[in-house]
Amino acid sequence: MAGGLLWDGRDFRGRVWGWKEFLDGECMDNRSLEEKKKIIYEFICDARYVPMKQKELAVVLQVPKERRPELNQALEELVAEGKLALSKRGRYGKAEEKVVTGIFTSHAKGFGFVAVEDREEDVFIGELDTCGAFLGDTVKVTLKGHGGSGKRQEGVVTEVLAHGITEVVGTFERSKNFGFVVPDNQRITKDIFIPLEYTKGAVTGHKVVAEITDYGAGRKSPEGRVTEILGHSSDPGTDILSIVRAYEIPTEFSERVLNQAERAAKPVSEADIQGRKDLRNEICVTIDGEDAKDLDDAVSVKMEGENYLLSVHIADVANYVQENSALDREAYERGTSVYLVDRVIPMLPVELSNGICSLNPGEDRLALSCRMTIDSRGRIMDHSIQETVIRSSRRMTYTSVKKILEDKDETERRKYADVVPMLEEMEQLAGLLRRKRRKRGSIDFDFPEAKIVLDEWGCPTELKASERNTATRLIEDFMLAANETVAADYYWQAQPFLYRVHEKPDPDRIRKLKIFIQNFGYSLHSGGEELHPGEIQKLLDRIEGTPEEAMLSRLTLRSMKQAKYATDCSGHFGLAAEQYCHFTSPIRRYPDLQIHRIIKENLRGRLTGGRVEHYEAVLPETAKHASETERRADEAERETEKLKKVQYMEQHVGETFEGVISGITHYGLYVELPNTVEGLVHVNSLEDDYYEYDEDAYELKGEHSGKSYRLGERIKIYVKSTDRLCKTVDFALTMSSAEEDK
């Protein structure tokens, strides 16, 4: 019946009998599922085919009843692969190709991934499906199947739309007739061929920047020309400079920008002070690290009855960097200052960042001040945001404040006797604010950061974990209060603004985290799909001081989404804050500078009409660009730290350490040392046994020995080898660990 309704013409009926021969009888027994799928797919792709149900297909193809489960299996897999589509009425037809566009990231092993906007997971691209795409390329991808049931979505690159990387940083190698550059970035899987006439005099061992002139195809290598020689790979600082150039972080200011900064950096005059609140007689201090030179925030606290008056004074950078000036455009492009192991790459020239915009003690400075009245329960009862002029009383360091408040060091307390009473009131207030924040569910990830000490040649001489203390937390508490207060003020005014947002975590990631922490006897409670940040903090409190603390804290952090800048105020999950922004660092963050402009215009009654329209037009792109430059800076900072950690461990090859298993994969164990170095114990270096990774139990289990390795377990290792190029450290179990295993 179905055949009569849906087809006419002898040729097509003949083809139907042809399919029957393939699908029925002994032929079907001898054909693989893939062959059957191919036959069915070709049949449905015929131009004369009209969508039909499974039963109709079985009738037309004359598939016996006992073989219909095989037809059903073939149809289901074709749908899963994205080749067929199943309509709401249950009819099968050829699926329309699903095409997406994204950024390609290659892997050293040949395959790659494509990051697609608004997709939570990247699309996997097999080695044979890359279409010659290069790292950073914008590509068009045809999706394979639906990637359901926990399976990663796969795709095929069909077209390279644009190249994202035009330059490569690497080590130059010269042969008799040509040269080539070995890229520092391991994700660039091919060396760059350099004709001799384009080597610019580079010799073997030079770190160079090479412009790509031909991206190659198939087996052909990319070609390029050397545009810059950074120095020999053994020269001090060349290694870090190579990373800076690889991330395309600008290091030099143009003459025009420097001249503009010099003209702007004039001492505060009486004309500058006009219309500002004069707070020069109020005691305020800056509290920063010993090496800090850009002092962009000062704080003061005084009692008003039972309440505290907290003033957070922020350098009025917007007074010196005018919108759309050369200075402003340069700051926008940089987005943020970059803090590397051996250098700081500032967003603004030092004439501003370390000069007139730095709140140096005893000098008049223009500021934007957030003054908050806070009660004895840590509640902000009232606030004002004002243009001010201040004069910092003292330049304090975290070390000095810790000595005064924590250590009760008498020498330090005498030295700063004039501000000790205020510092003690600050400590009390910071405690109130912190408890208030924690009570509402704010998450406090207190990770020890790596402190890397370098000698004059850039070689690491000391590596240790630096932890926060009373002084660092105090400043953090005050900055958080100011940022939240300013954000809430402008949210309720409904003015155009730049917010710092942190979205709720992905439910699937939280489900995986819940399963994982159960292995350690912990749990996370949530109502359905909703998780309150307070539950995360409760978990962090429970694991505090345990051997698995660092590892579980990091895994929990990785379950969170990245914070970013946005014009819509969707809240900050991690801080459990409904409104939050970055107001306190305009010297080193462009979003802070931009919202200072908005605040100043609003205070002066100019944020109306055309100015509102102007900010509504420019802020979305500002938010996007600032988020991108922030990620770029973070990645460069991580890469320089990884490099210096590897260089440090080079000096300790063969030495024994105790560490914690921080990660497990099918190829080995990641072990983290107390000095924050993480290395890999390869599975093939374990004792003579076959090991399998149990994903459900998060264990690496020996098939014969019965030995298993679990996350959080302490083990002894020795440093087996290091690799500067890959920035990796390899560990191996010590003999004592192997004996304990037995």
Tens of pLDDT, residues 74-83: 888 888 777 7
**672 and 608 within one domain:** no
Q: What is the dihedral of CA 403, 404, 406, 407, to 10 degrees?
A: 60
Asked whether the beta carbons of 719 and 679 are under 8 A apart, the reply is: yes
Nearest to 580 by CA among 654, 493, 481: 481
Domain of residue 705, CATH code: 2.40.50.140
Alpha carbon separation from 347 to 250, 260, 437 (Å, rounded)? 9, 14, 31
pLDDT of residue 12: 41
Query: Is 304 contained in some domain?
Result: yes
Asked whether the beta carbons of 365 and 268 are under 8 A apart, the reply is: yes
Amino acid at the residue 510 = I
Asked whether the beta carbons of 177 and 186 are under 8 A apart, the reply is: no
**428 and 355 within one domain:** yes
3-state SS assignment for residue 231: strand
3-state SS assignment for residue 415: helix
Query: Is 281 contained in some domain?
Result: yes
pLDDT of residue 6: 36
**576 and 449 within one domain:** yes
pLDDT of residue 525: 81
Query: Is 290 contained in some domain?
Result: yes
More confidently predicted of 544 and 163: 163
Looking up tokens 């350099």, which residue turns up? 194
More confidently predicted of 709 and 602: 602
Determine the average pLDDT of the residues in 127-131: 88
Q: How far apart (Å, rounded) are the C-alpha atoms in residues 383 and 15?
A: 82
- Given a cut of 90, is residue 94 above it in pLDDT? no
3-state SS assignment for residue 640: helix
- Give the range among 378-387, 452-461, 523-532 with minimum mean pLDDT: 523-532
- Of the residues 67, 94, 121, the one at which a domain ends: 94
**44 and 109 within one domain:** no
Domain of residue 15, CATH code: 1.10.10
pLDDT digits (tens, 9 = 90+) for 330-379: 999 999 999 999 999 999 999 999 999 999 999 999 999 999 999 999 99
Determine the average pLDDT of the residues in 708-720: 88
- Given a cut of 60, is residue 391 above it in pLDDT? yes
Q: How far apart (Å, rounded) are the C-alpha atoms in residues 252 and 244?
A: 12
Query: Is 141 contained in some domain?
Result: yes
Q: How far apart (Å, rounded) are the C-alpha atoms in residues 23 and 263?
A: 84
pLDDT of residue 85: 83
String of DSSP letters for 317-356: GGGTS-TTSHHHHHHHHH-B-EE-SS-EE-SS-HIIIIII
Q: How sure is the predictor about 86, in pLDDT bands with cuts at 50, 70 and 90?
A: confident
pLDDT digits (tens, 9 = 90+) for 440-465: 989 887 666 788 999 999 999 998 87
pLDDT of residue 527: 63
**339 and 485 within one domain:** yes
Q: How sure is the predictor about 22, in pLDDT bands with cuts at 50, 70 and 90?
A: very low
Determine the average pLDDT of the residues in 431-448: 87
- Given a cut of 80, is residue 14 above it in pLDDT? no
Asked whether the beta carbons of 354 and 337 are under 8 A apart, the reply is: no
**54 and 191 within one domain:** no
**587 and 543 within one domain:** no
CA 237 to chain centre: 25
Of the chain, the percentage scoring pLDDT greater than 70 comes to: 92
Asked whether the beta carbons of 423 and 412 are under 8 A apart, the reply is: no
Crossing angle between the packed helical segments 507-518 and 549-558, to the nearest 10 degrees:
160
Nearest to 483 by CA among 557, 569, 355: 569
**What backbone torsions phi and psi does residue 103 show, to the nearest 5 degrees?**
-105, 125
- Give me 284's structure tokens: 């305020």
Please give the mean pLDDT across all residues of the chain.
88
Query: Is 631 contained in some domain?
Result: yes
**Which residues fall within 8 angstroms of residue 713, CB to CB, at 6 or more apart?**
660, 661
Count of domains in the chain?
A: 6
- Given a cut of 70, is residue 21 above it in pLDDT? no
pLDDT digits (tens, 9 = 90+) for 392-414: 999 999 999 999 999 999 999 99
- Of the residues 94, 118, 143, the one at which a domain ends: 94
- Given a cut of 60, is residue 9 above it in pLDDT? no
More confidently predicted of 666 and 141: 141
Looking up tokens 């402190």, which residue turns up? 451
- Of the residues 43, 74, 94, the one at which a domain ends: 94
pLDDT of residue 151: 67
**628 and 586 within one domain:** yes
**342 and 402 within one domain:** yes
Determine the average pLDDT of the residues in 118-134: 86
Query: Is 363 contained in some domain?
Result: yes
Highest mean pLDDT among 20-34, 73-87, 301-315, 706-720: 301-315
Q: Which domain holds residue 216?
A: 167-235
**176 and 144 within one domain:** no
- Give the range among 82-96, 422-436, 595-609 with minimum mean pLDDT: 82-96
More confidently predicted of 225 and 514: 225
**492 and 514 within one domain:** no
Determine the average pLDDT of the residues in 211-215: 94
pLDDT of residue 413: 96
Judged on CB neighbours under 10 Å (0-12, 13-18, 19+), 425 is middle
**Residue 364's beta-bridge partner residues?**
391
- Given a cut of 70, is residue 524 above it in pLDDT? yes
**Residue 304's beta-bridge partner residues?**
307
Asked whether the beta carbons of 689 and 676 are under 8 A apart, the reply is: no
Alpha carbon separation from 601 to 331, 607, 616 (Å, rounded)? 20, 5, 14
Nearest to 168 by CA among 249, 245, 250: 245
pLDDT of residue 324: 95
Q: How sure is the predictor about 8, in pLDDT bands with cuts at 50, 70 and 90?
A: very low
Determine the average pLDDT of the residues in 720-740: 83
Query: Is 242 contained in some domain?
Result: no
**Residue 664's beta-bridge partner residues?**
669
Query: Is 610 contained in some domain?
Result: yes
Q: How far apart (Å, rounded) are the C-alpha atoms in residues 534 and 574?
A: 9
pTM above 0.75, yes or no: yes
Determine the average pLDDT of the residues in 144-170: 81
Q: How many alpha carbons lie under 13 Å from residue 462 in its C-beta half-sphere?
A: 6
**622 and 485 within one domain:** yes
Domain of residue 222, CATH code: 2.40.50.700
